[in-house]
Structure 1
Amino acid sequence: MASHPAGPPAARRPCVSLTTDYGLADGFVAACHGVLARFAPTARVIDVTHLVPPGDVRRGAAVLAQTVPYLPVGVHVGVVDPGVGTERRGIALATPGGLLVGPDNGLLLPAAEALGGVTAAVELTNPAWLAPTVSRTFHGRDVFVPVAARLALGAPPGGAGPAVDPATLVRLPEPVVRAETAGFDAEVLTVDHFGNVQLAAPGPLLDGLPSRVLVNGHEAVHGRTFGDAEPGGLVAYVDSAGLVAVAVHTGRAADVLTLSPGDLVTVTTP
């Protein structure tokens, strides 16, 4: 059978990711998908999550930062925006690993740093890039997604508005992490769907601690994975993001330890 020459490689489809606190009970996510489908129909859309707790900028920032390094290079939209409609800026950030679009409230900067750092920033003020009518309370649909659609199709970020000094971008407060003689104190960064408690402590802080540790006074195994503890037992380990986390084998550490994001946890030797 005669072989046929291979055709030219398929053009890379632009990628747009969405991370929001919109939930799934309303039409907010569908409206954003609709705007993308109308203005960037060739884009591949990846929904990171729409279940960030309402208004929880820190949680949204952590999810976005821990996810974007594994996504295709593209435009990443983050909308956890309790200040929508106020004087807070809408921004687009350029990084070596992609573009980020969303509110200037600290949400985007950890992801930008995960993608190599901010190389340029602009404020989203060009009305030609936005919806004809911009709602005061739905900038995801009317500002951020229309801008992302243009960027995904190759428009330069400078078309969205004037340059912003990266030093003026809003940053979230640094979470508490303190190394101690026989362990460390660290703030709870996130609690995931399984009740696993992720601390702001980098994994190496757990190195050198013995096979048994105390987590807020509760005995835990210093292990590598959940099954290193007995069923119902606590395990302290380094999670997939390289941070110290605490889990309960077949249970929920957040419930056992009564912990929420922002709480302080002490990990020490017995």
Structure 2
Amino acid sequence: MSGTPWISLTTDYGLDDGFVAACHGVIARIAPAARVIDVTHLVPPADVRRGAAVLAQTVPYLPVGVHVAVVDPGVGTARRGIALATPGGLLVGPDNGLLLDAATALGGISAAVELTEPRWLAARVSGTFHGRDVFAPVAARLALGASLVEAGPAVDPGELVRLPAPVVTRDADGFTAEVLTVDRFGNVQLAAPGEVLGALAATVRVGPPGPTPSHPAVHGRTFGDAPHQALVVYVDSADLVAVAVNGGRAVDVLGVRPGDLLRVAG
């Protein structure tokens, strides 16, 4: 990897403990010239789908480099540690579905390996902190230009663990989609691609599938297209359908959380 080596970190470690600093420290000891971008360390604990979404929606805008993601409820079990090569960079983390959407966003997987080479890992690998002892040292070595094939045996990309596909169904009046994420502003991102909004009228209704009452909403381009405290359905910066409240929190109005279903209809 030519030029300044870049490494990004995405985890659910939080900011109350020394976990993030330990990962930074391991990287600095091995690759002191590497520049580290902290994407976030506030992924909800063990929420692999949320981590996968944040990673996939962020990596296309980062410098080409090594992207480490650790949301790893299966740490220390038989789940594999992996590194993936893509046209847009390298990904390092657990084989639990966390990395695959990001790999797609970076052009698809061209090679995959299991992280088994002892010389690339900490001398003593903790059963509960692979971010420090496995993924950070591997990322640092890759950032310095070490070959992926030296990290461990090849893995068939078709055998990698994948998250279940989120629900998205269309009908004549609109669509039903799974809530993918909720951001810190309370905006509700759906798994539906933005193109499904194209045929909807300027006003729609949003709510759970079935007879439960739904809420009126504006089909707009941005938050200000709706009156103050009103719902707006729009295409967000990730080209997915999202629901917001102009001056408020859509998640509170709709009473949903990731994994729930919402129907948007004209």
Match of 2:195 among 186, 189, 204: 204
Aligned letter for 2:241?
V
How many matched pairs? 259
Aligned-residue CA RMSD (Å): 0.6
Is residue 2:234 matched to residue 1:243?
no
Aligned to 1:70: 61
- The alignment-based identity, stated in percent, is 76
Aligned letter for 2:126?
S
Write out aligned runs for 1:68-107 (5 A). Answer: 68-107=59-98
Aligned letter for 1:112?
A
Write out aligned runs for 1:142-157 (5 A). Answer: 142-157=133-148
TM-score computed with the length of structure 1 as normaliser? 0.95
SS of the aligned residue for 1:19 comes to: strand
Task: Write the distance in 2 (CA, Å) between the matches of 1:41 and 1:249.
Answer: 45
Which runs of at least 4 in structure 1 moved beyond 2 Å after TM superposition? none
Is residue 2:220 matched to residue 1:223?
yes
Task: Write the distance in 2 (CA, Å) between the matches of 1:12 and 1:83.
Answer: 35
Task: Write the distance in 2 (CA, Å) between the matches of 1:232 and 1:58.
Answer: 29
Write out aligned runs for 1:16-165 (5 A). Answer: 16-165=7-156
Task: Write the distance in 2 (CA, Å) between the matches of 1:254 and 1:134.
Answer: 40
Match of 2:157 among 146, 157, 166: 166
Task: Write the distance in 1 (CA, Å) between the matches of 2:117 and 2:200.
Answer: 54
Task: Write the distance in 1 (CA, Å) between the matches of 2:8 and 2:171.
Answer: 39
Aligned letter for 2:130?
H
Task: Write the distance in 1 (CA, Å) between the matches of 2:215 and 2:28.
Answer: 51
Which consecutive residues of structure 1, in runs of 5 or more, have no partner in the other structure? 1-10
TM-score computed with the length of structure 2 as normaliser? 0.97
SS of the aligned residue for 2:227 comes to: coil
Task: Write the distance in 1 (CA, Å) between the matches of 2:100 and 2:219.
Answer: 32
Aligned letter for 1:178?
T
- Provide Cα deviations, 1:39-96, integer angstroms capped at 9, x if missing partner: 0100010000000000000000000000000000000000000000000000000000
How far has the Cα of 1:12 moved from its partner?
A: 2.0
Pair member with larger Rg = 1
Task: Write the distance in 1 (CA, Å) between the matches of 2:31 and 2:101.
Answer: 27
How far has the Cα of 1:208 moved from its partner?
A: 1.4
Aligned letter for 2:188?
V
Match of 2:255 among 255, 258, 262: 258
Aligned to 1:6: none
SS of the aligned residue for 1:82 comes to: coil
Task: Write the distance in 2 (CA, Å) between the matches of 1:158 and 1:12.
Answer: 21
Task: Write the distance in 2 (CA, Å) between the matches of 1:247 and 1:102.
Answer: 32
